[in-house]
Amino acid sequence: MREIVIVGRPNSGKTMFALNFANFLGVKRVDVTFRDYDDILTCRHFSIEEAKRELCSSVAHRTLTLQSIVLRMTMGKTPIEFMLDDTCGVSEQIHPDATVRRGMAQTLKSMRYADYIFHMLDMIYWSNHPFFQSGNIDQEIYQYGLARNAYTILANKIDAPLAREHLTKIGSAFPKAKVIPISALLGAGFKEVKACVARNI
């Protein structure tokens, strides 16, 4: 089965996107498969609301290992099935907690074997930081994504006015990437994301 991985800095909205996008595709309950660092799998069954309560948080590093859901959709009459992998957030610093470091290593590994990469860009974060900070993790992900040629940026949190204002700067910060502005919280841009999945999976 083809796999799409969602990567980005902690708190950028990866888990919120995975669950609300599943909901957008008509899913009311999800089976989430957790893959730990030793490749041991655990599966849990949630309603979307339960999953959001338990798996999303305003505190960074809520997600520490790979969390996958299998999704189905149709484009025209063609059924499409794919796996959506949510990951531990990655950042520039070497994190003091070994669990987070292992989670980040697993994220980087998952980018290598995924068929397609969604890069979650936190537009609230970027409305408070200079886009061209050298060595920032979003630039690193961008460079890797371009090299893979199976990559789209999801510019998230555009429901926040300040975040939306900064959308105009994305073109110069990530000039060669395809960018879809979204609100993982409210579902804005999901139709475009679905079309992107259909084209690339």
Ligand X SMILES: Nc1nc2c(ncn2[C@@H]2O[C@H](COP(=O)(O)OP(=O)(O)OP(=O)(O)O)[C@@H](O)[C@H]2O)c(=O)[nH]1
Under the rule (CB under 5 A), what is the footprint of Mg ion?
14-15, 62-63
Question: What are the backbone dihedrals phi and psi of residue 57, each rounded to the nearest 5 degrees, phi first?
Answer: -160, 150
Q: 101 vs 3, 11, 104, 107, CA distance in Å?
A: 23, 16, 5, 10
Please tell me whether residue 93 binds ligand X under the rule CB under 6 A. no
As measured in angstroms, the least distance from the Cβ of 185 to ligand X is 3
Q: Which residues contact 52 (CB under 8 A, 6 or more apart)?
A: 15, 16, 19, 20
Cβ proximity to ligand X: between 64 and 196 the closer is 64
Q: Which residue is nearest to Mg ion (CB)?
A: 63
Bridge partners, residue 80, by sequence: 73
Site string for ligand X, 131-160 (x = CB under 6 A): -------------------------xx-xx
Site string for ligand X, 19-58 (x = CB under 6 A): -------------------------------------xxx
**∠ Cα 58 51 14 (to 5°):** 50
**∠ Cα 195 199 201 (to 5°):** 110
Binding site for ligand X (CB under 6 A): 8, 10-16, 56-58, 60-63, 89, 156-157, 159-160, 183-185
